[in-house]
Protein backbone atom coordinates (compact mmCIF):
# COMPACT_ATOMS: atom_id res chain seq x y z
CA UNK A 1 0.00 0.00 0.00
CA UNK A 2 1.37 3.47 -0.73
CA UNK A 3 1.25 6.23 1.87
CA UNK A 4 -1.80 7.97 0.35
CA UNK A 5 -3.90 4.78 0.36
CA UNK A 6 -2.73 3.88 3.83
CA UNK A 7 -3.67 7.32 5.15
CA UNK A 8 -7.11 7.05 3.58
CA UNK A 9 -7.68 3.54 4.95
CA UNK A 10 -6.57 4.58 8.44
CA UNK A 11 -8.71 7.70 8.46
CA UNK A 12 -11.74 5.69 7.39
CA UNK A 13 -11.57 3.10 10.13
CA UNK A 14 -9.46 4.32 13.05
CA UNK A 15 -10.77 6.69 15.74
CA UNK A 16 -9.41 10.13 14.97
CA UNK A 17 -7.63 10.68 18.29
CA UNK A 18 -4.21 11.41 16.78
CA UNK A 19 -2.88 14.30 14.76
CA UNK A 20 -0.56 12.32 12.52
CA UNK A 21 2.11 13.43 10.08
CA UNK A 22 1.68 12.44 6.43
CA UNK A 23 4.14 9.63 6.89
CA UNK A 24 3.69 5.86 7.04
CA UNK A 25 6.56 3.81 8.42
CA UNK A 26 7.29 0.38 7.01
CA UNK A 27 10.45 -0.74 8.76
CA UNK A 28 13.25 0.25 11.10
CA UNK A 29 16.78 -0.62 12.09
CA UNK A 30 18.98 1.08 14.68
CA UNK A 31 18.33 4.84 14.47
CA UNK A 32 16.82 4.59 10.98
CA UNK A 33 13.27 4.22 9.69
CA UNK A 34 11.97 3.65 6.15
CA UNK A 35 8.58 4.77 4.86
CA UNK A 36 6.21 2.90 2.52
CA UNK A 37 8.01 4.33 -0.52
CA UNK A 38 11.46 3.35 0.76
CA UNK A 39 12.62 6.81 1.88
CA UNK A 40 15.00 6.72 4.83
CA UNK A 41 14.68 8.82 7.99
CA UNK A 42 17.02 9.42 10.90
CA UNK A 43 14.86 8.91 13.98
CA UNK A 44 15.28 11.33 16.90
CA UNK A 45 11.88 10.45 18.36
CA UNK A 46 12.37 6.72 19.09
CA UNK A 47 8.63 6.18 19.44
CA UNK A 48 8.65 8.92 22.12
CA UNK A 49 11.44 7.55 24.32
CA UNK A 50 10.40 3.92 23.77
CA UNK A 51 12.94 2.33 21.41
CA UNK A 52 15.95 3.16 23.57
CA UNK A 53 17.96 0.30 22.06
CA UNK A 54 16.99 1.40 18.56
CA UNK A 55 14.63 -0.27 16.12
CA UNK A 56 14.54 -4.05 15.89
CA UNK A 57 17.82 -4.93 17.62
CA UNK A 58 18.58 -8.54 16.65
CA UNK A 59 19.11 -9.74 20.26
CA UNK A 60 15.61 -8.59 21.22
CA UNK A 61 14.08 -10.09 18.07
CA UNK A 62 15.71 -13.39 19.03
CA UNK A 63 14.40 -13.29 22.62
CA UNK A 64 10.92 -12.43 21.34
CA UNK A 65 10.98 -15.22 18.78
CA UNK A 66 12.29 -17.86 21.18
CA UNK A 67 9.87 -16.91 23.95
CA UNK A 68 6.97 -16.87 21.46
CA UNK A 69 7.79 -20.47 20.65
CA UNK A 70 7.97 -21.50 24.30
CA UNK A 71 5.14 -19.65 26.09
CA UNK A 72 3.28 -16.41 25.37
CA UNK A 73 0.61 -16.17 28.06
CA UNK A 74 -0.95 -18.18 30.89
CA UNK A 75 -2.62 -15.53 33.13
CA UNK A 76 -1.49 -14.48 36.56
CA UNK A 77 -3.17 -17.53 38.08
CA UNK A 78 0.24 -19.15 37.64
CA UNK A 79 3.91 -18.35 38.19
CA UNK A 80 6.22 -17.84 35.23
CA UNK A 81 9.99 -17.60 35.31
CA UNK A 82 10.50 -14.49 33.10
CA UNK A 83 8.10 -12.44 35.28
CA UNK A 84 9.82 -13.52 38.50
CA UNK A 85 13.25 -12.86 37.03
CA UNK A 86 12.37 -9.39 35.73
CA UNK A 87 10.92 -8.41 39.12
CA UNK A 88 14.10 -9.63 40.80
CA UNK A 89 16.29 -7.77 38.31
CA UNK A 90 14.32 -4.51 38.62
CA UNK A 91 14.31 -4.50 42.40
CA UNK A 92 18.05 -5.22 42.48
CA UNK A 93 18.82 -1.97 40.60
CA UNK A 94 16.72 0.52 42.59
CA UNK A 95 15.09 1.33 45.95
CA UNK A 96 12.10 -0.97 45.36
CA UNK A 97 11.30 -4.40 46.81
CA UNK A 98 8.09 -5.25 44.94
CA UNK A 99 6.72 -4.83 41.41
CA UNK A 100 3.23 -4.85 39.87
CA UNK A 101 3.17 -5.39 36.10
CA UNK A 102 0.69 -3.81 33.68
CA UNK A 103 0.77 -2.92 30.00
CA UNK A 104 1.28 0.82 29.76
CA UNK A 105 2.37 3.96 31.52
CA UNK A 106 -1.17 4.92 32.39
CA UNK A 107 -1.74 1.52 33.97
CA UNK A 108 1.47 1.79 35.97
CA UNK A 109 0.32 5.17 37.29
CA UNK A 110 -3.18 3.80 37.98
CA UNK A 111 -1.56 1.11 40.12
CA UNK A 112 0.52 3.73 41.93
CA UNK A 113 -2.55 5.88 42.65
CA UNK A 114 -4.53 2.87 43.89
CA UNK A 115 -1.64 1.69 46.06
CA UNK A 116 -1.18 5.15 47.61
CA UNK A 117 -4.88 5.36 48.44
CA UNK A 118 -5.02 1.87 49.89
CA UNK A 119 -1.88 2.34 51.97
CA UNK A 120 -3.23 5.59 53.40
CA UNK A 121 -6.68 4.09 54.05
CA UNK A 122 -5.14 1.30 56.10
CA UNK A 123 -3.03 3.66 58.18
CA UNK A 124 -5.32 6.66 58.54
CA UNK A 125 -8.86 5.56 57.63
CA UNK A 126 -11.28 7.41 55.36
CA UNK A 127 -10.75 10.86 53.87
CA UNK A 128 -6.98 10.89 53.35
CA UNK A 129 -6.75 10.13 49.62
CA UNK A 130 -5.58 13.37 47.99
CA UNK A 131 -2.53 13.40 45.73
CA UNK A 132 -0.54 16.52 44.91
CA UNK A 133 0.57 16.61 41.26
CA UNK A 134 2.27 19.25 39.14
CA UNK A 135 0.96 21.71 36.57
CA UNK A 136 2.02 20.77 33.01
CA UNK A 137 2.66 17.20 34.13
CA UNK A 138 1.65 14.18 32.07
CA UNK A 139 0.60 10.89 33.65
CA UNK A 140 -1.64 9.20 31.08
CA UNK A 141 -5.09 9.14 29.51
CA UNK A 142 -7.21 6.84 31.68
CA UNK A 143 -9.71 8.69 33.88
CA UNK A 144 -7.57 8.58 37.02
CA UNK A 145 -4.31 9.44 35.23
CA UNK A 146 -5.81 12.27 33.16
CA UNK A 147 -7.22 13.59 36.43
CA UNK A 148 -3.69 13.39 37.86
CA UNK A 149 -2.31 15.19 34.80
CA UNK A 150 -2.03 18.95 35.39
CA UNK A 151 -3.23 20.02 31.93
CA UNK A 152 -6.76 21.21 31.11
CA UNK A 153 -6.47 20.17 27.45
CA UNK A 154 -6.15 16.52 28.50
CA UNK A 155 -9.14 16.74 30.85
CA UNK A 156 -11.61 18.86 28.87
CA UNK A 157 -14.81 17.02 27.99
CA UNK A 158 -14.28 14.11 30.34
CA UNK A 159 -15.50 15.69 33.57
CA UNK A 160 -16.32 14.81 36.29
CA UNK A 161 -12.69 13.98 36.98
CA UNK A 162 -11.52 11.46 39.53
CA UNK A 163 -11.61 13.28 42.84
CA UNK A 164 -8.64 14.16 45.00
CA UNK A 165 -5.90 15.66 42.82
CA UNK A 166 -4.43 19.02 43.71
CA UNK A 167 -2.17 20.77 41.19
CA UNK A 168 0.77 22.98 42.09
CA UNK A 169 3.55 24.64 40.08
CA UNK A 170 6.41 22.32 39.12
CA UNK A 171 9.73 23.01 40.84
CA UNK A 172 8.08 25.00 43.63
CA UNK A 173 8.55 23.43 47.08
CA UNK A 174 6.61 26.17 48.88
CA UNK A 175 3.57 25.45 46.70
CA UNK A 176 3.71 21.78 47.71
CA UNK A 177 4.09 22.67 51.40
CA UNK A 178 1.05 24.96 51.15
CA UNK A 179 -1.07 22.31 49.44
CA UNK A 180 -0.51 19.69 52.14
CA UNK A 181 -3.38 19.14 54.56
CA UNK A 182 -5.03 16.20 56.35
CA UNK A 183 -6.64 14.97 53.10
CA UNK A 184 -3.33 14.42 51.26
CA UNK A 185 -1.66 11.00 51.06
CA UNK A 186 0.97 11.37 48.34
CA UNK A 187 2.96 13.56 45.95
CA UNK A 188 3.29 12.42 42.33
CA UNK A 189 6.02 13.99 40.19
CA UNK A 190 8.10 13.44 37.05
CA UNK A 191 11.80 13.92 37.99
CA UNK A 192 12.05 15.76 34.65
CA UNK A 193 8.87 16.92 32.92
CA UNK A 194 8.88 15.39 29.43
CA UNK A 195 5.63 16.41 27.74
CA UNK A 196 5.75 19.62 29.79
CA UNK A 197 8.73 20.79 27.71
CA UNK A 198 11.84 18.97 29.00
CA UNK A 199 11.80 20.89 32.25
CA UNK A 200 14.51 20.04 34.78
CA UNK A 201 13.87 21.12 38.36
CA UNK A 202 16.41 22.74 40.66
CA UNK A 203 19.00 20.43 42.22
CA UNK A 204 17.33 20.39 45.66
CA UNK A 205 13.78 19.77 44.40
CA UNK A 206 13.50 16.01 44.88
CA UNK A 207 15.30 16.20 48.23
CA UNK A 208 12.88 18.93 49.30
CA UNK A 209 9.89 16.83 48.25
CA UNK A 210 11.35 13.86 50.13
CA UNK A 211 11.67 15.98 53.26
CA UNK A 212 8.10 17.26 53.02
CA UNK A 213 6.77 13.76 52.41
CA UNK A 214 8.67 12.27 55.32
CA UNK A 215 7.53 15.06 57.64
CA UNK A 216 3.85 14.53 56.79
CA UNK A 217 4.01 10.78 56.18
CA UNK A 218 3.12 11.17 52.51
CA UNK A 219 4.20 8.76 49.80
CA UNK A 220 6.59 10.16 47.21
CA UNK A 221 5.81 8.78 43.75
CA UNK A 222 8.11 9.26 40.75
CA UNK A 223 6.74 8.89 37.26
CA UNK A 224 9.91 7.73 35.43
CA UNK A 225 7.96 6.46 32.43
CA UNK A 226 9.71 8.80 29.98
CA UNK A 227 13.01 9.62 31.68
CA UNK A 228 13.80 6.23 33.22
CA UNK A 229 15.57 3.31 31.53
CA UNK A 230 18.85 5.07 30.83
CA UNK A 231 17.42 8.12 29.04
CA UNK A 232 19.29 10.63 31.23
CA UNK A 233 22.56 8.71 31.53
CA UNK A 234 21.54 6.99 34.76
CA UNK A 235 19.27 3.97 34.81
CA UNK A 236 16.61 6.08 36.56
CA UNK A 237 16.57 9.85 36.39
CA UNK A 238 16.16 10.36 40.15
CA UNK A 239 19.46 8.55 40.72
CA UNK A 240 21.25 11.76 39.66
CA UNK A 241 19.93 13.32 42.88
CA UNK A 242 20.18 10.16 44.97
CA UNK A 243 16.71 10.73 46.44
CA UNK A 244 14.62 7.56 46.52
CA UNK A 245 10.82 7.56 46.28
CA UNK A 246 8.33 5.16 47.89
CA UNK A 247 6.78 4.27 44.54
CA UNK A 248 8.09 4.54 40.97
CA UNK A 249 6.40 3.90 37.64
CA UNK A 250 8.03 2.66 34.43
CA UNK A 251 6.76 1.80 30.96
CA UNK A 252 7.86 3.21 27.58
CA UNK A 253 11.41 1.87 27.11
CA UNK A 254 11.18 -1.01 29.56
CA UNK A 255 10.70 -3.56 26.77
CA UNK A 256 11.87 -1.34 23.85
CA UNK A 257 8.37 -1.16 22.32
CA UNK A 258 6.75 -4.38 23.44
CA UNK A 259 3.93 -3.05 25.65
CA UNK A 260 4.69 -3.17 29.37
CA UNK A 261 4.18 -1.02 32.45
CA UNK A 262 5.54 -1.51 35.94
CA UNK A 263 4.78 -0.01 39.34
CA UNK A 264 7.59 -0.49 41.84
CA UNK A 265 7.34 0.07 45.58
CA UNK A 266 9.07 -0.51 48.88
CA UNK A 267 7.79 -3.63 50.63
CA UNK A 268 6.24 -1.63 53.46
CA UNK A 269 4.06 0.27 51.01
CA UNK A 270 3.48 -2.67 48.66
CA UNK A 271 1.98 -4.69 51.51
CA UNK A 272 -1.17 -2.60 51.22
CA UNK A 273 -1.89 -4.61 48.05
CA UNK A 274 -3.26 -8.04 48.94
CA UNK A 275 -4.77 -10.79 46.73
CA UNK A 276 -7.70 -9.25 44.87
CA UNK A 277 -6.55 -5.62 45.32
CA UNK A 278 -5.44 -5.19 41.75
CA UNK A 279 -4.95 -7.26 38.60
CA UNK A 280 -4.24 -7.20 34.89
CA UNK A 281 -4.85 -10.03 32.41
CA UNK A 282 -1.81 -9.22 30.28
CA UNK A 283 0.33 -7.82 33.10
CA UNK A 284 3.82 -9.32 33.01
CA UNK A 285 3.32 -12.08 30.45
CA UNK A 286 6.31 -14.33 29.75
CA UNK A 287 6.58 -12.78 26.28
CA UNK A 288 6.99 -9.17 27.38
CA UNK A 289 8.97 -9.82 30.54
CA UNK A 290 11.49 -11.99 28.66
CA UNK A 291 12.16 -9.01 26.38
CA UNK A 292 12.36 -6.56 29.30
CA UNK A 293 14.94 -8.74 31.07
CA UNK A 294 17.24 -8.38 28.06
CA UNK A 295 16.54 -4.64 27.72
CA UNK A 296 17.35 -4.05 31.39
CA UNK A 297 20.50 -6.17 31.12
CA UNK A 298 21.80 -4.06 28.25
CA UNK A 299 20.76 -0.63 29.52
CA UNK A 300 21.91 -1.09 33.13
CA UNK A 301 25.52 -1.74 32.09
CA UNK A 302 27.65 1.14 33.37
CA UNK A 303 29.53 1.40 30.05
CA UNK A 304 26.20 1.81 28.22
CA UNK A 305 25.03 4.52 30.62
CA UNK A 306 28.39 6.31 30.45
CA UNK A 307 28.10 6.42 26.67
CA UNK A 308 24.62 7.96 26.92
CA UNK A 309 26.16 10.69 29.06
CA UNK A 310 29.04 11.30 26.65
CA UNK A 311 26.91 11.41 23.48
CA UNK A 312 24.29 13.46 25.34
CA UNK A 313 26.92 16.03 26.39
CA UNK A 314 28.21 16.23 22.82
CA UNK A 315 24.65 16.64 21.47
CA UNK A 316 23.93 19.37 23.98
CA UNK A 317 27.07 21.29 22.99
CA UNK A 318 26.05 21.15 19.34
CA UNK A 319 22.57 22.41 20.21
CA UNK A 320 24.14 25.20 22.25
CA UNK A 321 26.17 26.26 19.21
CA UNK A 322 22.87 26.62 17.29
CA UNK A 323 21.59 28.63 20.25
CA UNK A 324 24.57 30.99 19.78
CA UNK A 325 23.92 31.25 16.07
CA UNK A 326 20.15 31.82 16.01
CA UNK A 327 18.59 34.50 18.20
CA UNK A 328 15.13 32.86 18.07
CA UNK A 329 16.45 29.91 20.09
CA UNK A 330 15.50 30.80 23.64
CA UNK A 331 17.07 27.98 25.61
CA UNK A 332 18.66 24.52 25.35
CA UNK A 333 18.10 22.15 28.26
CA UNK A 334 18.11 18.49 29.08
CA UNK A 335 20.07 15.68 30.58
CA UNK A 336 21.68 12.73 28.83
CA UNK A 337 19.63 12.04 25.70
CA UNK A 338 16.44 13.90 26.54
CA UNK A 339 17.12 17.36 25.17
CA UNK A 340 14.85 20.30 24.52
CA UNK A 341 15.31 23.47 22.50
CA UNK A 342 12.83 26.21 23.28
CA UNK A 343 12.05 28.59 20.42
CA UNK A 344 10.42 32.01 20.27
CA UNK A 345 7.66 30.55 18.10
CA UNK A 346 5.69 27.28 17.71
CA UNK A 347 7.95 24.45 16.50
CA UNK A 348 5.47 22.48 14.38
CA UNK A 349 6.76 23.84 11.07
CA UNK A 350 10.39 23.05 11.99
CA UNK A 351 9.40 19.44 12.68
CA UNK A 352 7.83 19.15 9.20
CA UNK A 353 10.83 20.81 7.52
CA UNK A 354 13.18 18.34 9.23
CA UNK A 355 10.97 15.44 8.16
CA UNK A 356 11.15 16.61 4.54
CA UNK A 357 14.93 16.48 4.89
CA UNK A 358 14.83 12.97 6.30
CA UNK A 359 15.10 13.62 10.03
CA UNK A 360 12.33 12.95 12.57
CA UNK A 361 12.08 15.15 15.66
CA UNK A 362 9.22 16.06 17.93
CA UNK A 363 7.79 19.25 19.40
CA UNK A 364 6.11 19.48 22.80
CA UNK A 365 4.64 22.27 24.93
CA UNK A 366 4.13 24.09 21.59
CA UNK A 367 7.53 25.78 21.35
CA UNK A 368 9.98 23.14 22.57
CA UNK A 369 11.75 20.93 20.05
CA UNK A 370 12.30 17.67 21.90
CA UNK A 371 15.07 15.25 20.97
CA UNK A 372 14.72 11.63 22.16
CA UNK A 373 17.00 9.54 19.92
CA UNK A 374 17.60 5.86 20.55
CA UNK A 375 20.29 5.70 23.24
CA UNK A 376 22.58 3.91 20.77
CA UNK A 377 22.79 7.08 18.65
CA UNK A 378 26.29 7.97 17.43
CA UNK A 379 27.96 11.39 17.34
CA UNK A 380 27.89 11.15 13.51
CA UNK A 381 24.11 10.78 13.66
CA UNK A 382 23.96 13.73 16.04
CA UNK A 383 26.00 15.73 13.50
CA UNK A 384 23.49 14.89 10.76
CA UNK A 385 20.61 16.09 12.94
CA UNK A 386 22.47 19.32 13.76
CA UNK A 387 23.31 19.96 10.08
CA UNK A 388 19.67 19.46 9.18
CA UNK A 389 18.42 21.79 11.92
CA UNK A 390 21.02 24.36 10.89
CA UNK A 391 19.82 24.21 7.28
CA UNK A 392 16.18 24.53 8.33
CA UNK A 393 16.92 27.40 10.76
CA UNK A 394 18.96 29.23 8.09
CA UNK A 395 15.81 29.54 5.96
CA UNK A 396 13.73 31.25 8.64
C1 LIG B 1 3.99 8.43 28.07
C2 LIG B 1 3.84 8.81 29.50
C3 LIG B 1 2.79 8.30 30.29
C4 LIG B 1 1.67 7.45 29.72
O5 LIG B 1 2.10 6.26 29.19
P6 LIG B 1 1.10 5.41 28.24
O7 LIG B 1 1.88 4.15 27.99
O8 LIG B 1 0.85 6.22 27.03
O9 LIG B 1 -0.14 5.17 29.02
C10 LIG B 1 2.76 8.62 31.63
N11 LIG B 1 3.72 9.41 32.17
C12 LIG B 1 4.73 9.92 31.45
C13 LIG B 1 5.76 10.78 32.12
C14 LIG B 1 4.82 9.65 30.08
O15 LIG B 1 5.81 10.19 29.37
Contact assessment for residue 306 and residue 202, using Cβ atoms and an 8 Å cutoff: no
Q: Span 59-299: which CATH code?
A: 3.40.640.10
Residues 195 and 146: their CA atoms lie apart, in Å, by: 13
Residue nearest to atom 11 of ligand 1 (CA): 139
Q: How far is CA 269 from CA 88, 107, 117, 219, in A?
A: 17, 18, 11, 9
| Distance between Cα 174 and ligand 1 center (Å) | 27
pTM (2 d.p.): 0.98
**CATH 3.90.1150.10 location in the chain:** 3-56+302-393
Q: Per-residue confidence at 158, pLDDT binned at 50, 70, 90?
A: very high
**DSSP characters over 128-152:** --EEEEEBT----SSHHHHHHSB-H
Q: Per-residue confidence at 84, pLDDT binned at 50, 70, 90?
A: very high
Mean residue pLDDT across the chain: 98
Helix (H) or strand (E) holding 364: strand 362-364
Q: Span 3-56+302-393: which CATH code?
A: 3.90.1150.10
CB-ligand 1 contact for 139 (6 Å cutoff): yes
Contact assessment for residue 374 and residue 52, using Cβ atoms and an 8 Å cutoff: yes
The total number of residues written for the chain in this structure: 396
Average pLDDT over residues 357-366: 98
| Distance between Cα 54 and ligand 1 center (Å) | 19
Q: Considering the chain, what percentage of its residues have pLDDT values greater than 70? A: 100
- The dihedral over CA atoms of 72, 73, 78, 81, expressed in degrees to the nearest 10, equals 30
**CATH 3.40.640.10 location in the chain:** 59-299
Cβ-based neighbours of 86, under 8 Å, separated by 6 or more = 99, 101, 284, 289, 292, 293, 296
Contact assessment for residue 337 and residue 231, using Cβ atoms and an 8 Å cutoff: yes
Q: Per-residue confidence at 327, pLDDT binned at 50, 70, 90?
A: very high
Instruction: Specify the ligand 1 atom closest to the Cα of 140.
Output: 4
| Distance between Cα 195 and ligand 1 center (Å) | 9
Q: State the pLDDT at residue 241.
A: 96
Listed as own residue / partner, the contacts of 44-48 with beta carbons closer than 8 Å and 24 or more positions apart are 44/359, 44/360, 44/361, 44/362, 44/371, 44/372, 44/373, 44/377, 44/385, 45/360, 45/361, 45/362, 45/372, 45/373, 46/372, 46/373, 46/374, 47/252, 47/257, 48/226, 48/252, 48/362, 48/372
| Distance between Cα 26 and ligand 1 center (Å) | 24
Query: 219-271, pLDDT tens digit by residue?
Result: 999 999 999 999 999 999 999 999 999 999 999 999 999 999 999 999 999 99
Q: State the pLDDT at residue 11.
A: 95
| Distance between Cα 194 and ligand 1 center (Å) | 9
Dihedral-angle region of residue 276 (phi above 0 means left; psi in -120 to 50 means alpha; beta otherwise)? left
Q: State the pLDDT at residue 214.
A: 98
Q: State the pLDDT at residue 293.
A: 99
Helix (H) or strand (E) holding 343: strand 338-343
CB-ligand 1 contact for 223 (6 Å cutoff): yes
CB-ligand 1 contact for 370 (6 Å cutoff): no
Amino acid sequence: MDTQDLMQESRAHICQTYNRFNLAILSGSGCNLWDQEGRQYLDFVAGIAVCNLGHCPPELARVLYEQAQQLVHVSNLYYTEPQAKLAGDLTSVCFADKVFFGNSGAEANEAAIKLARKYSRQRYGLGRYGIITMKDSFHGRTLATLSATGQLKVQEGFEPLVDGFRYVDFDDLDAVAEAIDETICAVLVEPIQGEGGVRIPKANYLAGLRQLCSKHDLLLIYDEIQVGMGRTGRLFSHQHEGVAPDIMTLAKALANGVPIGAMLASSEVAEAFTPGSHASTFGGTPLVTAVAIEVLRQISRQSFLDRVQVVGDYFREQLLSLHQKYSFVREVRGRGLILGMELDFPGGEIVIQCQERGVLINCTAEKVLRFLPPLIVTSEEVDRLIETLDAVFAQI
